[in-house]
Chains A and B, each alone.
Chain A
């Protein structure tokens, strides 16, 4: 039989200041956990969303995994279109998007500057990049760019610096912002898009970085890959876009591992905070715990009650942290090497945060409780 639940709850009010401080400490710890997990989840999510299973990317074999370093011949799209059958064609338009993709220093009108990701595209881009939606303004005309909704975060500049009508400077040229776009949370949202020709002129390049093509349902990437192998003079490689981002996930593994290590360390700090409180709470209650045993409560019941106490506090801290995380952390845009993404406090993040909270409660309460119950009842009854 267990002790009544109220016993655990009311015990927390015995030393209200101490409980409150511990609550604050635990809430902070759990917030940090939410932050880290939100970061990991956001990163993973942006990579997952960015891949379209029907899109194949064709880029240079020499570029490793980074598209900024890829350079392929400008005639690649025509070669692909004429040699392959699996690419979507509708109303005489081939759904293929030749693109130039580069990282460039961008200076905004108000004097801020940062590294931006710039993509030069043609009118066919939205046919292939199907998640892209214009939020405001227009598709970029000559000398214009449209900004992804996280582009300012990526640049580290104020949001207004990319408002429509503002000018920015990149690749030694001035550009006017023509519109803002969203892309369903994918990586494009941290980019600046302009016309391919303009970007080629500004960058003094004739080549492309990559070609993205939309495949017919059921069409296989293998055909394109075979083409790349046969025409090895072109030095091309083809990969399904989802596979490309999956390999990026691999690339970010150390980052994610590091984040998990931080989560663990932070959680351990929480355990110590909880333990500190519970040692204090239990040490003044040695006689009371002995009395409970004397009137017939088993040690396990008392142990459970003490753990309950820790868990109640930790659960309260989790709730508090969860509420704060949902309001302030969820959707927060952060800058990262390959772009910007938003922190996601989703179901998984909540689950992990609360699990960490409960673990802190249990692990923090166990050692003090076990210590208190190790004493023989007869001796403990005489304790002061």
Chain B
């Protein structure tokens, strides 16, 4: 059973008079524990694909099943509830709330789960530990470096123990060193916590940490091989 499955997904936007169709009859299966990277020229629809998988955007046609739930049939509030349980979202810029501490930022998604305060605190501690920021729990975002902020953002994405984490250019606004730390972290989380990852990136080096690499071009998904970039298999 794949954790993420897209069947014949189409998505288009109307922009002024013209219609852009970033996704044309896209099929995709991601198995549990896979780390999938998604590359492609700017404006091809990579973010759009992530947004469809995480249920914050709706398909025109086709079916998306994530972790056994057919997200394409859920109402907006059901989708929100489902996201809280099943999806972690890592943003390009950390998107931390400036008036909340690192700890409180990470705690936000757990408040949506039905669990005791003890369990919640345990999970937040674990998540902060996993990203190596246990000692920064009480800091506010402005007291953290860019890389630390992104790590808090990652802790927030994994704290609810989602089956799938989507990341939209998680290293896109970081310098090389920091980017490498984040890459390592993502890889470690994928391997140690068995989180299925779907990550968009513009950077071939970043894409290389994934166990499987995809390319989105002209509305189609192509599998690429690291050694033979451009060589494709049907997506």
Contacts and interface: CB of A to CB of B under 8 A. Distances in A.
A251 B54 CA distance: 67
Chain B contact residues: over half helix, strand or loop, or mixed? helix
A39 to B, nearest CB: 41
Contacts of A381: 56, 91, 95
A67 interface: no
Interface in B84-138: 84-85, 87, 89, 91, 95, 97-100, 104, 108-109, 111-112
A4 B80 contact: no
Contacts of B156: 295
A294 B98 contact: no
Interface stretch (A5-13, A99-107, A219-227): A5-13
Nearest to B50: A378
Given A298-B81, A381-B91, A292 B108 contact: yes
A376 interface: yes
Contacts of B112: 1, 295-297
Interface string A289-304: 0011111111110000
A11 B108 CA distance: 15
A13 to B, nearest CB: 7
A7 B80 contact: no
Interface residues of A, number: 25
B97 A298 contact: no
A296 B81 contact: yes
Interface string A277-296: 00000000001100111111
B56 A378 contact: yes
B108 A293 contact: no
Interface string B52-65: 00101100000000
A376 B77 CA distance: 13
Nearest to A376: B57
A297 B80 contact: yes
Interface string A350-378: 00000000000000000000000000111
Contact of B91 (A3, A4, A291, A298): A291
Nearest to B76: A299
Interface string A1-32: 10110110011011000000000000000000
A292 B82 CA distance: 14
Contact of A4 (B84, B95, B111): B111
30 contacts: A1-B112, A3-B108, A3-B111, A4-B104, A7-B99, A14-B98, A14-B99, A288-B95, A288-B97, A292-B108, A294-B54, A294-B56, A294-B83, A294-B89, A295-B83, A295-B157, A296-B81, A296-B83, A296-B87, A296-B109, A296-B112, A297-B112, A298-B80, A299-B76, A376-B57, A377-B51, A377-B57, A378-B48, A378-B56, A381-B91
Interface of A: 1, 3-4, 6-7, 10-11, 13-14, 287-288, 291-300, 376-378, 381
Given A291-B95, A296-B80, A296-B112, 5 more contacts: A1-B111, A294-B91, A295-B83, A297-B80, A377-B51
Nearest 7 Cβ contacts at the A-B interface:
A296-B84, A10-B99, A291-B95, A377-B56, A296-B83, A378-B57, A378-B51
